[in-house]
Structure 1
Amino acid sequence: MRVLDSHLHLWDPSVLDYPWLEGPLRARFAAEEIAGTIGEVGDERGFVFVQADCLEAQYLDEIDWVTSLAEQVGVRGIVAGARLDRGAATVRHLDAFAERPLVVGVRHLLQGEPVGFAATPAFRAGAAALAERGLTFDACVRGEGQLRDVIRLAAEMPELRIVLDHLGKPAVGTAATPSLPSAEWANALTALAAHSQVFCKLSGLPAEARGSWSAEQTEPFFDVALEAFGPERLMVGSDWPVSAVTASGWNSGADAALDAGAIGAWADAVASWAASRAVDVDAILWSNAERFYRLS
């Protein structure tokens, strides 16, 4: 089984600054740390690094640091941090990617912005500059209001290739008390999928369950995504190490351990679900991400 993990984070607080880190995540997660968890994934593997929300002034430094680890870790592409609402400064920032060939896309974290932000002229100008350079946009949002913003963005900018991170972060409950997909979320996901340039990552649900998740719990959400996007626009992503925090980790703070096998466990759960639905497992585990990010 080959796995191209579309959503990997790496960070080292001794190298760059990450104001949001706390608890068990406020530690180094880089080449040595990932070595113990990727062995279970399969003989052939690769990763797409997604920006880890370091300080804005360090966005280019983050690219350079990850590039220095890329061969050792297996990073095939980088989704870089960028503010798309900075006007001329955004353009200069995107132009700096030309000297950094691993950069394949950008993530401006929308989940921390107010509803409607993605429709502002400043953001739209930056998104247009992104599309002009053939770079993708990772949309990380929470709630149906922000999902509707991404739907509008996709409708009004069909030239911008978008991938939805973490299925839009629906409420999933926990393994013991799972939630079913809400009608509002399912309807928004279906509306977003109507735009053919939009893909979706099967990722992030363990973090939404605060570390207490089961394969059975996630399958209703995968089924909605499959019905909406089809098997040709879904891709697996581990969201490591954020989604590797165990349930005890969420409750116990800095002393809690992370699940060393989280990457393999998530890939196995997605692969088993895809096989049970008789869809192309390799497409979801490899080729869709490769095609979306133009890595071949």
Structure 2
Amino acid sequence: MPSTMIDQPGDPPVTVIDSRLHLWDPRLLDYPWLAQVPRLRHSYLPADLSTATAGLGSGGFHLEAVVFVEAGRADTDADAEVDWVEQLAAGGPMLRAVVAHVPLERDAGARIAALRRHRLFTGVRRNLQDEADGFTTTDDVAAGVRLLG
């Protein structure tokens, strides 16, 4: 590897933006998947991120910002999740954007319109792992996906 590719003493740290951060608080919102992973059934908050990245600066990295990605909360908590993350973001400059859950197969237009009121809303995630084969090829999902453009 050429020496220019290796961090040299005195090199400025590499600035990193984490584009997929999940936070959750089961005291506030319902996360059905946590029932299957009990060891994760506790809060993960921005303060935990600070602890987890404490040594990065000395290794040549500086965590500049993060993008929150919806964390699999119950469908009924989707709006509350975005509100909660925006409250967390008000407490520090690192949380810069929210990728929110949108049920692309139903009322996607209304949900996207409602999300636009959130200053940090930047993208959509629709988890597919538990859906039946062929789910993504239904007319309803296709119509929701077209709204994203």
TM over 0.5: yes
Alpha-carbon offset, residue 44 of structure 1 = 4.4
After TM superposition, the structure 1 = structure 2 runs for residues 1-296 of structure 1, keeping only pairs within 5 Å, are 1-21=14-34, 22-41=37-56, 42-71=61-90, 72=92, 74-86=94-106, 89-131=107-149
> SS of the residue aligned with 1:47?
strand
Aligned residues of 1:9 and 1:52 also touching (Cα < 8 A)? yes
Name the amino acid aligned to 2:111: H
CA-to-aligned-CA distance 1:42-68 (integer Å, 9 cap, x gap): 334211111001111111110110111
Contact 2:67 2:95 in 1 (8 A): yes
Return the alpha-carbon distance in structure 1 between the equivalents of residues 116 and 74 of structure 2: 21
Cα contact 2:99–2:124 (8 A) shared by 1: yes
CA-based RMSD of the aligned residues comes to 1.4
Per residue, is there more strand in 1 or in 2?
2
Tell me, yes or no, if the aligned pair for 1:9 and 1:49 is still in contact at 8 Å: yes
Deviation at residue 73 of structure 1 after TM alignment: 6.4
Kindly indicate whether the alpha-carbon contact (under 8 Å) linking 1:84 and 1:122 is maintained by their aligned counterparts in 2: yes
Structure 2: unaligned runs, 5 residues or longer:
1-13
Whichever structure has more helix as a proportion of its residues is: 1
Q: Which amino acid is the alignment partner of residue 115 of structure 1?
A: D
Instruction: Return the letter of the residue paired with 2:104.
Output: L
Alpha-carbon distance between aligned partners in 2 of 1:34 and 1:4, rounded to the nearest angstrom: 13
Q: Specify the alignment match of 1:211 in structure 2.
A: none
2:139 & 2:114 partners in 1: Cα distance?
23
Whole-Å separation in 2 of the counterparts to 1:40 and 1:119: 45
How many residue pairs get matched? 129
Cα deviation per residue 1:83-124 (whole Å; 9 max; x = unaligned)? 1001xx221111011100211111111111122211110001
Call closer, same or farther: CA 1:73–1:28 in 2, change over 3 Å.
farther
Percent identity for Structure 1 against Structure 2: 36
Residues 243-282 of structure 1 show CA distances to partners (whole Å, capped at 9, x for unaligned) of xxxxxxxxxxxxxxxxxxxxxxxxxxxxxxxxxxxxxxxx
